[in-house]
Structures are given as C-alpha cells and as structure tokens.
Chains A and B, each alone.
Chain A
C-alpha cells in the first residue's frame, strides 16, 4: 500500500513546463541537477523550501507546453511525492506515468487544499486526506492499462516485461 504524506504547495492554472524547468537548464538531463531548478521562475527558493514527500497542488492544465520529460523528472527528484491538480496537460500526464511520478486529478482537492495543509494520499484508493482541514477527496482511478505501467514501475520496466514474454 502506497501512502504519501506531505505539506501542500499551491499553484494556479496553466503551470507550464517552462516554469517547471526553464529551457536554460536543459543542457543537462541529470535529474538531480534539474531538481535544483524546479519551479525557480515561479519561486527561486522553491527547491530549498520544500521537504521530501511534500505535495504540489495546482488548478487546471498543469504541465502545459513542451514535451520535455525533464519537467516531471525535476519535480520527482526535488522530492515532491505527488502532484494533485484539476487537470493535467496530456504529454505531462503520460510522462509522469512513464517515469513513475504519481499524479492525481481531483478538482475538489485542488480547490479546497490551501498552501501549507498537511495532506495524506492513498494512491491505490485514489483517496486524498486533508489532515489540516479534516476533509477527504477522491480522484478518479487510473485506467487498468496505466495501472499496469505504474505497477511495473514505469514504462521501461513494462516494455522489458513485454519483450521477455515474446518467444
């Protein structure tokens, strides 16, 4: 059972991939290096302020823009355990599943959670608990096929498993 715990960091609509990881840092693909610059154009101190396990909460269309996988990588390696939003841009959505960054769509949670709230997430159940406000929200479960990618530990492991099944 995967339970995530952390403090919420709140963002608005249309957080784009250039804000998540500006292109000037894309001359490296080292996830730990990318992590240091995560969200720096929105908050230059973001990486230093967050603690391991913290949760990002945003409104609609999170991750819009570029296909750079560096964006979910930067978030994951910065120590963020999960992103909750009203909705996600589609390439960011795929990339997150593929690299194993948990993301949950829940407009209710995204609206109610305030910055600094303590949040607990049960990934399997899609249950989001706001410990600070004493509220519960549910996100829609992943389709079965995506669940398989997630349980395999990301797309690369999933492909490996598939190839080993072939005669």
Chain B
C-alpha cells in the first residue's frame, strides 16, 4: 500500500518502513525554530530539564521578529533572553535585527528549509516550509524545549487531503487567493489534525513565493501541514541556496487520501476574507462598499518580492487615498534591498506609503500599525480574528497584495482593475 509524501517523510524520520495515519511516532527533526515571543518560554522550560547543551546548535534557528525592533522595555527583555541563550549555546542561526527577516520569509531565503525534511517551529505558520516539500509544523514552547534537548519530537501521523487545482488562473489571482478560497470552502477546521497536499497543473506552474503564501495558511484550516511536492521550480529556487543535502519525497500513485478535492481555478477571482475568521471569504466582485482606515502589505504570508512587485505595479504614479495609512513591510533585509534596487521602494514612498524594516508587527497587533477602536484594516496577513491587529472593536479583512494596493488608492476594498 502506498504512502503520501507527508507519511513518507515521517516514516523516514521515525526509522520506520511505513507509517499509517493515526499512528503515534517519535521522529527526528532537522530544524527547530523559535521567535522572541515563544523562545523565551521554551528556554525557561529547557533549563528546567537540567541539560547544559542543546542537542545540536546548528539545527536551532532563533529569530527576533514579532515585537522587534524592540517595541518596549518588556519585549526588549524577552528578546534579550533569546539573544543571551543563543550566545551561551553557540546557536549558529541566530539573526539579530539588521540581519533578520520575518522568520517564514527568512528561513526559505537562507536555504534552511529543504525537501524531505521535518521542521518544527514554535510559531503556527511554520507550515510555510511545506512549499519546499518539507513536513513543517507549528508546535508550542514546551515542545520546542523538549526537541532542543532530544532532537526529536512526537507526532500523530496525519491523514492527508489532496487538493487538485485545474484550469487557468484569472488576472491578479495568486497563491493567496487559492488558499483563501480553499479555506472558504472547507472552513477553519476543515483540515483539523490533517495534512493538506496541494497539487495539479496550477500548482506546478505556481511561483515559489505564491507556493509559500499558500502553505503558510494551511494552519488557518486547522492543518498540521501544507505540502507541495518538489519539482523544477523548487530545485531552481534551491540552487545555490540549500545549506544541506536533501532528498525530496513524493506521494505514491496508490497512496491513500482521506479525501480528494478538485477546484477549477477559472472560477476563482481575488478573494477577501471578512472579519472575524479566514473562512469568511468572498470574491472581490461580491465585497460591496467597505471603506478602510489602514492597509498593510507584508507579513510571513505576503511580504516577499513577488508581492512587493505586484503592489508597486498598481501603486506606480498614484497616491494613497487621503483617508488611508498604507504600511509596506518587506519580509527580509534581502527583499528590502532588492525592492530598493528595483525602484519599488521609490514607488511606495512616492505614493505616500510608510515602508518599514522587517517585522511581524501589525499582523498580530504588536506594533507598527495597531488599530484604534472602530478602525478597519485590509491586510495581506493571515488572520482576522477579533482584536488581531489592535482594539477588540477593530476589524481586519484579508486579501492578496494586488487588492491591498488598489484599495489603498481608492480608500475602500477594490479590485485591482479599478486603479489601472
């Protein structure tokens, strides 16, 4: 009987020939990630174990990205705990402000997340790395502490739902729209405890940035992981970038899926998720009149170069609507620099947008764009829960970078075509 790619990856790391959905296994991990919010708790728990050294200082990545550059004294103290631990343990992959990026933009860019690997991170959007054919999943701080000690963790082998995307993409439709549409169809617990395998001709032609955006939001359907089998696009992306040897794993022809769902993408237009759940999606033509106070383009979902290029294409020669604050946040220092070289930052600044150093900041209502009571934001981020970007009576709508850029110009949620 065949296995899915996710099952094969888990089996290979558990030292088993085969695994079945539902089975509990202990598996070796290739990489462990933590940030300035989750790592301090993990470090506290790690110290309780009583070990002096982590299992491998080259397999742990620590990125201060959530409340950094430090927003206040309390968050500075948290970041300091992580910095000191990194020095004390000789952690190779610690990325200080100025060298960092939003973790899920940074790690793939550095070639640290590879096909066939198991990557766990104390951040729910760790599932992003499935775009490279890894089995990557979010865990909590105590799980991170235990994994830093043992180099392994336990998994319940997830069953897999196969999503097949057919047809031709409409203009301005990106990976973000495919995943929002998918979540709208199956719900925020539609893949609870399961793995989502994205495949079909549309995925095979999708850029790496769009694939990363898709897998990033698998967690918003409750999934343990989102995965795209590696192909030429993956290998081209990894060329000169991969920091370790790797071996991609693929689903067998006779693999057993919990479900197979096919979508005709020709029917999908740019999507907008209404408050307060990512499943509340509507096509852009169904949105109606939604005036805005703030637009955010960035985050681990859509802060990559492709996203900034699309936003710049729509903002070129235009001004942000007088009622709108537009905040653009490149995902990493490298993306920031490349955007500068390509003149994208000029376009943003000419349009009267604020451009920030990489940070998760506004996405989780941390800093750099927190909403007041009654304010409404449109964001290329991943969550629109109550109070996510600030006051509990503020609102967040989710969309792709094209819709965000167009809406920043019109002052209300708008289709990209409206500003062309």
Contacts and interface: CB of A to CB of B under 8 A. Distances in A.
A95 B192 CA distance: 16
Most buried by B among A70, A91, A155: A91
Contacts of B44: 29
A160 interface: yes
Contacts of B38: 67-69
Contacts of A67: 38, 121-124, 126, 138-140
A42 B121 CA distance: 28
Contacts of B156: 143
A117 interface: no
Contact of A28 (B74, B126, B146): B74
Contacts of A163: 49, 51, 149-150
Interface string B121-155: 11110100000000000111111011001100010
Interface string A99-141: 1000000000000000000000000000000000000000000
Contact of B386 (A19, A66, A69, A94): A19
A85 B249 CA distance: 36
Nearest to A26: B37
Interface string A36-75: 0000011000000000000000001100111111100000
Contact of B124 (A66, A98, A145): A66
B385 A16 contact: yes
B24 interface: yes
B150 A162 contact: yes
B87 interface: no
B8 interface: no
B52 to A, nearest CB: 12
Nearest to A159: B146
A99 B224 CA distance: 20
Contacts of A14: 188-189, 277
A154 B140 CA distance: 13
Most buried by B among A16, A69, A95, A163: A69
Contact of A61 (B189, B385, B386, B392): B189
B40 interface: yes
A98 to B, nearest CB: 4
Interface residues of A, number: 40
B24 A94 contact: no
A3 interface: no
Contacts of B219: 65, 91
Contacts, number: 141
A159 B123 contact: no
Nearest to B145: A156
A87 interface: yes
B192 A87 contact: yes
Contact of B189 (A24, A28, A64, A70): A64
B192 A18 contact: no
Nearest to B70: A27
Interface in A10-24: 14, 16, 18-19, 22-24
Contacts of A91: 124, 138-140, 219
B75 interface: yes
B28 interface: no
A68 B385 contact: no
B193 interface: yes
Contacts of A99: 140, 142
Contact of B149 (A66, A98, A159): A159
A89 B127 CA distance: 15
Contact of B140 (A16, A64, A98, A160): A98
Interface string B203-227: 0000000000000000100101000
Contact of B142 (A16, A26, A87, A98): A98
A156 B189 contact: no
Given A68-B38, A156-B45, A159-B49, A90 B78 contact: no
B365 interface: yes
Contact of B364 (A23, A60, A64, A69): A23
B180 to A, nearest CB: 16
A89 B192 contact: yes
Given A18-B364, A19-B387, A28-B74, 15 more contacts: A23-B366, A24-B366, A24-B370, A27-B67, A27-B77, A61-B222, A64-B188, A65-B383, A94-B140, A98-B142, A145-B24, A159-B149, A163-B49, A163-B51, A163-B150
Interface of B: 24, 37-38, 40-41, 44-45, 48-51, 66-67, 71-72, 74-75, 77-78, 121-124, 126, 138-143, 145-146, 149-150, 154, 156, 188-189, 192-193, 219, 222, 224, 277, 364-366, 370, 383, 385-388, 390, 392
The 10 A-B pairs at the shortest CB distance, nearest first, are namely A27-B74, A95-B140, A98-B142, A61-B189, A41-B392, A69-B140, A23-B364, A27-B75, A67-B124, A67-B138
10 contacts: A18-B386, A22-B365, A23-B66, A23-B365, A27-B71, A69-B41, A91-B140, A143-B156, A155-B142, A163-B49
